[in-house]
């Protein structure tokens, strides 16, 4: 069974640009969660999507947004990038047995 897939693995952007990160959940999982892991700040919850709807949002500015597609894959968009957006972005998907499986992450570097 394929795990949670995230792309790209690494992304380098200039301050002010936009970044798009992608996540494909495990087959059959309808919930997708996004987390930011910045140096020294731990794992911060960003967004939760289920059945195509945004269910919950963490304490992040509106320039962090996303969506979930009919096939349950998801995109995270970060607009007007700032240096402090540099982090590892992790995606997780969840099944009905409430197992949360994480992908390997996208390392975003803003220069």
Partner 1 sequence: AQSVTQLGSHVSVSEGALVLLRCNYSSSVPPYLFWYVQYPNQGLQLLLKYTSAATLVKGINGFEAEFKKSETSFHLTKPSAHMSDAAEYFCAVTLPPSKLTFGTGTRLQVTL
Instruction: Write out the residues near partner 1 by the rule CB under 8 A.
Output: 4, 6, 31, 33, 42-43, 45, 48, 50, 56, 58, 90, 92, 94, 97-105, 107
The CA R_g of the chain, rounded to the nearest whole Å, is 13
Report, in Å, the least distance between residue 96 CB and partner 1: 8
Of the pair 6, 74, the CB lying nearest partner 1 is at 6
Report, in Å, the least distance between residue 32 CB and partner 1: 11
Site of tokens 């962090």: 64
Of the pair 78, 92, the CB lying nearest partner 1 is at 92
Of the pair 62, 96, the CB lying nearest partner 1 is at 96
Report, in Å, the least distance between residue 106 CB and partner 1: 10
For 12, 49, 84, the CA distances from 54, given in Å and listed in that order, are: 27, 5, 24
Edge-first strand order for the sheet with 19-24 is: 5-7, 19-24, 74-78, 64-68
Cα dihedral sign for 101, 43, 67, 74?
negative
């Amino acid at each position: 069974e394929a795990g949670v897939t995230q792309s790209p693995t690494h992304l380098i952007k200039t301050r002010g640009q936009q970044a798009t990160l992608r996540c494909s959940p495990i087959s059959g999982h309808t919930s997708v969660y996004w987390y930011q892991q910045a140096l020294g700040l731990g794992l911060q919850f960003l967004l939760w999507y289920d059945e195509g709807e945004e269910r919950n949002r963490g304490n992040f500015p509106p320039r962090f947004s996303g969506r979930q597609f009919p096939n349950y894959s998801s995109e995270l968009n970060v607009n007007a990038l700032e240096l402090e957006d540099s982090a590892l972005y992790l995606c997780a998907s969840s099944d009905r047995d409430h197992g949360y499986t994480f992908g390997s992450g996208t390392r975003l570097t803003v220069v």
